[in-house]
Structure 1
């Protein structure tokens, strides 16, 4: 039986044949805002595109229902005009040429984990990057295809004793994760995923394949580190600095019913003072009363972790009903957090599910944590997950990358299991809890948990970096090729 994302979060405490075509045009100098050069729309030439990409699936094709799927089954009703499987930057350019010339919506997909389903646009062209999943390590530098998913990346790097800080779900794409920032179990030790980015190859709206870095097209490079997926072009590969892959002590503490207010309060102060080697989250689960669990990882010895956990228990004033800690090698630890210790971690083997979610940013401890737990009283199949930030994340200034929440204590994810028939009621429940969290003083939002109904979403996701992101989007995409409901162009 597959393990649902909600069950996984509760259990472990963790909180998308090539034909020849022209070579890509390379531009290595920063460009100023060009005038519009978009031609008048021309009729779609699907057959012409078909011979320029690895595969093209359309409605009526035997493989279309599978080709259009994303991770969230709620979006299975999505109806793109076509799904193009690509394996080279030239094939990405071919897709963009068709979309640009025909005024066709276009979106790239790697893991397909967009919380709002934006990687499968209705009547648009999906550029499926998953064939571009090669991972190459040269020295301590890794070049990773934009279609790679986390369990393409982790084993490939771990065999050389290296890693990048990233997420936990095996089928999450490295592309969307990096472009939104990239929070994970090593964030406090090594930073966000985007903090390790050295350069990226990206096809921009004009069809040019650019290699961007801090030296070349630096504004675009800045925007790709936290500015959100789908906003500035289609990235075809990322080059990262890697870090030594540490052994980790994974841990989880389950606390008794009724203790959520005390545990949340204790956790906030505890994690704020924790060493950078410790990452943790606090999961509050719907119930009467709500349940609470603390989990995480420690890049050190089990004997060094034990007094840290003792301090949390003392601050909470209640003993856990279950306390577990186990030292594991890096890759085994990532299997643990991915919920695949006893099954395949292969990205395509992961179960899909239906859910609705939102987020807030906890910048400082809540003065009345009991009110956070109260938001889940009487609800069903809903969790609130507090994922710790700080340490290495806070060592980078908010304006140094597009990810603005550098001084925050934690991200807050609200996660509701849903069904196709119950989508609207689940969305209403999520909005109620999200707004309840706002009333407690937590604002902002994490763009990788993007919610279609998020109020004032541009400011919530990008804060003071929004104006600069607007300028960059206008410069590199004056014709608004990369536009969707919550694109930078519409913020």
Structure 2
């Protein structure tokens, strides 16, 4: 997109309600470099222009303009910028940034009742902004485990998170949206549209069918739920509790906690298992002791959560369980639950400062305090791939193969990446995110509107992750001195390519009882059809017949077409 085209477009963009035109950034604009950054800093893109859109009408005008020059303009959209393959941006593209469209409004309209209100959220809102507003009204929506994720990308990709066992993936509670189609038309999607209408088909596709394919979402509407009266989040580092317990046994215990119908108050959980170095010439050991962390949200008291852990893991966890308790105040107002302060990123990534804090909590040298704010997870280079455990076919053969995949010569020893002096060392691990639970156990496929998320019957997601050079905070600001950062980057450099090789090896590792892939954990080497499985053909049809995108402007590497 050249300067002349940008000038033409700028003159056409509608003003907002205050009479101001949207901000347009180019390479010589202040703030351009920060706004061009995506969460995966392995990618360094330079968009031709970044438009900070504020209204659906501005988005519509951009789409109409792109239709006039479909071979000159490549569109990209960004909500939170967390696309793991960086598909929310691109060099020489026209990037629509939705960060200013971040309103959060609670209403009693549509399908809402006093007990189940509707929350309307701008496409650029992030969970760090959404949750305090909802908490103040004692309401929740399904959310992810990272506070800087944007609502649009999270929901359209399915949306796994701490509420999945109880309320399903985030997309399941999406009941409406405002959408800009490929011809620039602005449409409102409602849950009561006739089942065979384009509007109903588009809403179905938005519920887990991936982002950007079917239109550009400017607002989403969700069924909210009331927060439970008692909530606690917990973090159990199993190696602290049981130093010699095999990872296989811990995995089996975790699975007992999530399967069956006798543990409904475990509303969400994941199990993190850290990969370890395998010396040359050695075979992986399916009975290996690995660093495992059991994370969860529990609808009950701290003691009830501890009792639940003891019941399923069989041994008293020796006081190593870190529990954050959120109690209602004396006046009974449950808004004090403050779930926005739950430890988002400790479910997944732990930068060294967080690890040390968790160790202090575990040993009792720091008192338990529900107001402890853990550091936000910041942008960093990384590579991810995924698959899912099947309800039938998953057994000890698959469990042992998974444990063996975590032992590799492609994983460095701590000393090989700078030892204790490197605060930003390479981290390689898996996270298993529970899907099975009360929601999908009673899921009714005839419900309106249905969802396109294809893996409702799987036990859990398996996410392989490799991260390095994690020295930025959630706002993209360095957390260390230049010399510390340089030391860490140089120590990692001999190994970061091998970390990505490990991800590729895990993608192809034979693990019986697994299959598919989760689009939110995007890996460009996984075929698009695998992400959408049984919904793939129908999603392609929605794209071709309902999106009005004759020039296929809504397209990136992993869109449906």
Question: Could you give the per-residue CA deviations for residues 310-346 of structure 1, whole angstroms, max 9, x where no partner exists?
Answer: 12221xx79567223342157544422225954588x
CA distance 1:451–1:169, change in 2 (3 Å): same
Q: Greater shift after overlay, 55-64 or 85-94? A: 55-64
TM-score by length of 2: 0.74
Are 1:396 and 2:452 matched, yes or no?
Answer: no
Are 1:277 and 2:265 matched, yes or no?
Answer: yes
Pick one of 332, 335, 343 that aligns with 1:337: 343
Pick one of 38, 57, 65 that aligns with 1:90: 57
Q: CA deviation at 1:213?
A: 2.3
Alignment correspondent of 2:512: 440
Alignment correspondent of 1:327: 325
- Is the CA contact 1:360–1:446 (under 8 Å) kept in the aligned structure 2? yes
Query: Aligned equivalents of 2:174 and 2:442: distance in 1?
Result: 16
Question: Could you give the per-residue CA deviations for residues 224-243 of structure 1, whole angstroms, max 9, x where no partner exists?
Answer: 00011111111000111110
Query: Aligned equivalents of 2:373 and 2:440: distance in 1?
Result: 32
Structure 2 SS opposite 1:206: coil
Alignment of 1:200-215 (within 5 A): 200-215=177-192
Alignment correspondent of 1:244: 226
Rg larger in 1 or in 2? 2
Pick one of 409, 413, 426 that aligns with 2:499: 426
Are 1:80 and 2:57 matched, yes or no?
Answer: no
Alignment of 1:361-440 (within 5 A): 361-364=388-391, 365-368=394-397, 369-378=399-408, 379-380=411-412, 381-390=427-436, 391-396=438-443, 400-418=450-468, 424-436=497-509, 438-440=510-512
Alignment correspondent of 1:31: none
Alignment of 1:152-301 (within 5 A): 152-216=129-193, 217-246=199-228, 247-256=230-239, 257-258=243-244, 259-273=246-260, 274-278=262-266, 279-287=268-276, 289-301=289-301
Question: Could you give the per-residue CA deviations for residues 347-403 of structure 1, whole angstroms, max 9, x where no partner exists?
Answer: xx7632221111111123432323312212242421110011122144335793110
Question: Could you give the per-residue CA deviations for residues 240-264 of structure 1, whole angstroms, max 9, x where no partner exists?
Answer: 1110022422122222355211101
Query: Aligned equivalents of 2:325 and 2:166: distance in 1?
Result: 17
Are 1:451 and 2:433 matched, yes or no?
Answer: no
- Is the CA contact 1:223–1:402 (under 8 Å) kept in the aligned structure 2? yes
Query: Aligned equivalents of 1:212 and 1:57: distance in 2?
Result: 31
Q: CA deviation at 1:194?
A: 1.3
Structure 2 SS opposite 1:184: coil
Paired residues, number: 440
Alignment correspondent of 1:13: none
Structure 2 residues without counterparts, runs of 5 or longer = 14-20, 109-116, 194-198, 278-288, 328-335, 347-370, 413-426, 470-488
TM-score by length of 1: 0.83
Query: Aligned equivalents of 1:100 and 1:267: distance in 2?
Result: 51
Structure 1 SS opposite 2:439: coil
Question: Could you give the per-residue CA deviations for residues 43-94 of structure 1, whole angstroms, max 9, x where no partner exists?
Answer: 962113234251111223332211211112112x212221110111111112
Q: Which runs of 4+ in 1 moved over 4 A?
A: 41-44, 317-321, 339-345, 419-424
Query: Aligned equivalents of 2:184 and 2:4: distance in 1?
Result: 17
Alignment correspondent of 1:141: 118
- Is the CA contact 1:253–1:323 (under 8 Å) kept in the aligned structure 2? yes
Query: Aligned equivalents of 1:137 and 1:234: distance in 2?
Result: 22
- Is the CA contact 1:249–1:297 (under 8 Å) kept in the aligned structure 2? yes
Pick one of 526, 531, 540 that aligns with 1:470: 540
Query: Aligned equivalents of 1:194 and 1:136: distance in 2?
Result: 18
Query: Aligned equivalents of 1:143 and 1:334: distance in 2?
Result: 18
Structure 1 residues without counterparts, runs of 5 or longer = 1-40
Are 1:99 and 2:82 matched, yes or no?
Answer: no
Q: Once superposed, what is the RMSD of the aligned Cα atoms?
A: 2.5
Alignment correspondent of 1:9: none
CA distance 1:131–1:350, change in 2 (3 Å): farther
Q: CA deviation at 1:265?
A: 1.9
Q: CA deviation at 1:440?
A: 2.8
